[in-house]
Amino acid sequence: MTTYVITSRPLSDYVSMFWYWEGYHPPHNKERILPGGMMEITINMTNTPFCIYDHESGDASCVVYGPMLAGARTEPFVIDTAEPMNLLSVLFKPGGAPPFFGVSGRDLHNLHLPLEDVWGVDACDLYCDLREAPTTLARFRLLERALAKRLIDPHQRHRAVNYALEMFQSALPSVTVKQVQRDIALSSTRFLQVFREEVGMTPKQFSRVQRFQRALDHIAHEEVVDWAEVALACGYYDQSHFINEFRSFAGITPSAYAPQSAEHRLNVPVLD
């Protein structure tokens, strides 16, 4: 997989990185993708549909050709990996995506939809240009230009959202929504509104997803996992609380969690 980190402003304020994975074809036919709390554009460059399945029923919930926009998620989904894919992706920073699409993060929560639905013919033109680009770097440059074109009037994130994101993404598991709200001196209703608009989920949901991510990081680097220790280190009340939260975000229990690799810990093979 090739990654490209955005370093030039103003794009670097909104976009975390681009990545490209050529010939992605794991040995399993389906893969569970766990929530990471960020929005993303994903493009299957092999000109075949991107099939999304409900993680509980297994029914196809979305089939997209070309560029696909994914909202911030609080639940997993399943993708079809039976056929080889060349995947190109834009990973936005939390709260960084809405200025490019003219819709609030709240309206995209837990959704996948064709990029064409929000960008119109520009999404189709971008897809054609990306498929004709001779190199991976050339594709990354095309994405940079396309995003810069959409960011004519850079959006200034609300100060309360900036502070909340910094605190929730810190290494302090004891940080609570109530503490953050007290620090920003904003009413709970107003804080909830601006955070959902920009990030795509409530402050509580985002805080929980970040705690879940810390738990995955602990698990990924342990050969033998002490579940009680993970629960304590990541700020859960107890092991039961940790298991319930894990099941909510992953759709499986912690003991059933077997990621593709430590590096790609959000990708979990679905075995027949």
pLDDT in tens, 186-206: 888 999 999 999 999 999 999
What mean pLDDT comes out for the span 208-220?
90
* Section 116-120 average pLDDT: 94
Residue 245 contacts residue 256 (beta carbons within 8 Å):
no
Percent of the chain clearing pLDDT 90 (strictly above)? 53
Per-residue pLDDT tens digits for 158-177: 888 989 998 888 766 677 88
Residues 85-98 have pLDDT tens digits of 899 999 999 999 98
Q: Any idea how long the chain is?
A: 272
Q: What is the mean pLDDT of residues 124-153?
A: 92
Instruction: Supply the pTM of this predicted model.
Output: 0.90
- Rounded to whole angstroms, how far apart are CA atoms 82 and 218? 30
Question: What residue spans define the domains of the chain?
Answer: 2-150, 159-270
- Give the tens place of pLDDT for each residue, 36-88: 889 999 999 988 888 899 888 777 788 888 899 999 999 999 999 888 889 99
CA distance 203 to 205: 5
Give Rg (Cα) of the chain.
Answer: 19
Q: What is the CATH number of domain 2-150?
A: 2.60.120
Q: Which CATH class is domain 159-270?
A: mainly alpha
Task: Give CA–CA dist 186/162, Å, rounded.
Answer: 13
Report the chain's mean pLDDT, rounded to a whole number: 89
- Long-range CB contacts (< 8 A, 24+ apart) of 189-196? 191/160, 191/164, 194/158, 194/160, 194/161, 195/160, 195/161, 195/164, 196/104, 196/105, 196/106, 196/109
What's the pLDDT at 59?
79
| Angle at CA of residue 163, ends 157 and 169, nearest 5° | 110
